[in-house]
């Protein structure tokens, strides 16, 4: 039973446009959500996070939106750059213990 789902395995976006990566979860106990970025042959790199008491968190070009009633979160990247091409993982946690990850979305930003 997958508690965190990223339904799009891949996404292609033109450079300069907005990238929107989506994530759904089923466990209402999750109280914190994170996005990680992963390049080939490297470990995941923490990108941005949001607590369940908020609905938006912004950091530069990256914004995460949380819709608790829909159990849905999204990551917006504006403007997208070729260096953003990577696999993006959504993760969720409760109690600051283990993270539960989605399977990832491969983002390709086309110059």
DSSP designation for 30: -
CB of 91 vs another protein, minimal distance in Å: 8
CB of 54 vs another protein, minimal distance in Å: 13
Window of 13-21, 38-46, 60-68, 75-83 that interacts with another protein by CB under 8 A:
38-46
Q: Does 27 bind another protein (CB under 8 A)?
A: no
Q: Does 1 bind another protein (CB under 8 A)?
A: no
Backbone angles phi, psi at 39, to 5 degrees: -95, 155
Window of 10-18, 60-68, 74-82, 90-98 that interacts with another protein by CB under 8 A:
90-98
Tokens 């979860």 sit at which residue?
25
Which CB, 41 or 70, lies closer to another protein?
A: 41
Alpha-carbon dihedral 8, 10, 16, 19, rounded to 10 degrees:
20
Backbone angles phi, psi at 84, to 5 degrees: -80, -10
Q: Does 54 bind another protein (CB under 8 A)?
A: no
Round to whole Å and give the CA distance between 47 and 37. Answer: 6
> Dihedral of CA 74/78/80/86: which sign?
negative
Sites of contact with another protein (CB under 8 A): 4, 32, 34, 36, 41-46, 49, 89, 91, 93, 96-104
């Amino acid at each position: 039973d997958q508690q965190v789902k990223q339904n799009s395995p891949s996404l292609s976006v033109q450079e300069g446009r907005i990238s929107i990566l989506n994530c759904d979860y089923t466990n209402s106990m999750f109280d914190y959500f994170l996005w990680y970025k992963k390049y080939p042959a490297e470990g995941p790199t923490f990108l941005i996070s949001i607590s369940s008491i908020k609905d938006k968190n912004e950091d530069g070009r990256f914004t995460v939106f949380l819709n608790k009633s829909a159990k849905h979160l999204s990551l917006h990247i504006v403007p997208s750059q070729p260096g953003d091409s990577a696999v993006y993982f959504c993760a969720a946690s409760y109690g600051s213990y283990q993270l539960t990850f989605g399977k990832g979305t491969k983002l390709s930003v086309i110059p």
